[in-house]
Amino acid sequence: MRPWSPATTATGSRTSCATASSSKGFRSRSTSSRAERQDDAVKVVVVGGGSWGTAFAPLLRDHDHDVTLACRDPDQARVIEETGHNPRYLTTTDLRGVKATTIREAPIAEADLIVLAVPSRAFAEVAEALPGNAPVLILTKGLDPATGDRLSTRVQGRPVAVLSGPNMAEEIAQGLPSATVIASEDSELAERLQEAINSMVFRVYVNEDLVGVELCAAAKNVIALAAGGVDGLGLGDNAKASLITRGLVEMARLGEACGGQPETFSGLAGMGDLNVTCYSGYGRNRRAGELIARGATADEAAAQIGQVVEGLTTAPVLRDLSHRVGVELPITEGVCRVLSGESLDGLLASLMGRQPTNE
């Protein structure tokens, strides 16, 4: 029996707050010896050769899984295969023992697990073209830009789970401790993934709130843009803490309207990821907001950072979703206005000048 093969398939609705179901997972490996695990290695393909894919692949390798990192660029894959290092992202990370190839040539059809770590703008195209029926673990944090759907709903005909939390790829690649949550509507799938990934430096929790975890992952990037704006304008710690706290309220408000569980937003995927994204020097969205506050356009900020800034794509999608479900998101609305050309001073005035109300 294939260790991670699904027993049933997943179906996903294309509505904005729809849920996607998953199915029974794969055989437990906890009782097997190291030699037996190597003889019957779980075949994992990590799709996406960016920072997160580069940091995540060694976590799987260190569990004796058979890991392939699938890159879009053939030259990037070749260098990884030859040197054991990614020439573009996290260049000192040791990838020896991780195979590398192109997405087209990766053994996806034969995989027991597919990990998707591609930008949200490319997610649907990649997910819908996947051969086979292996479970998918989503690392991407965002919404589908074309439809506003949660990314799990774009995964059809196979089990699906999402991993999210305060997980800066740069720190994980250094072996620094972190924690995360895996969400799936199939608790057995989530638990098998937990067993396959959890370690002394990467602690994995599980829950069944796929909706809440996905919306946290998307919304926190938008709040981080605003937090970076606070940094760029030099508005101080009080202002930043206030904005982050009210941003968490926005995240929870939207999540509950879409069917998420309130406790998710005070957990790793919510408060945890929001905090690190808004404060870390590695945070791309925070850095982009800071650059915009200092006069850069959104395109200039993204170019200077040199990597995908998901919040720039997600902000208008999240705003439109909030309109569809009738939820007020003043910070998100303000970020969208700034991205459309309004000054940050105007955003500050609009937020501070709102009618006083109960917390």
Query: Which residues are known to be catalytic?
Result: 220
Residue 262: DSSP 8-state: G
Question: Which residue is associated with the tokens 């292996």?
Answer: 134
- Number of other CB atoms surrounding residue 87 within 10 Å: 14
Show the tokens assigned to 86.
Answer: 């990614």
What is the C-alpha separation between 189 and 13, in angstroms, rounded? 20
At 51 the three-state DSSP class reads helix
Work out whether strand 202-207 and strand 43-47 pair parallel, antiparallel, or are unpaired: unpaired
**Contact between residue 159 and residue 184 where contact means Cβ atoms under 8 Å apart:** yes
Which residues does 337 contact at the CB level (< 8 Å), separation at least 6?
346, 347, 350
Secondary structure, 3-state, 207-221: ECCHHHHHHHHHHHH
CB-based burial of residue 71 (10 Å sphere; 0-12 exposed, 13-18 middle, 19+ buried)? buried
Which contacts of 278-282 are long-range, i.e. CB under 8 A and separated by 24 or more positions? 278/220, 278/223, 278/224, 278/227, 278/228, 278/240, 278/244, 278/247, 279/227, 280/168, 282/168, 282/169, 282/170, 282/171
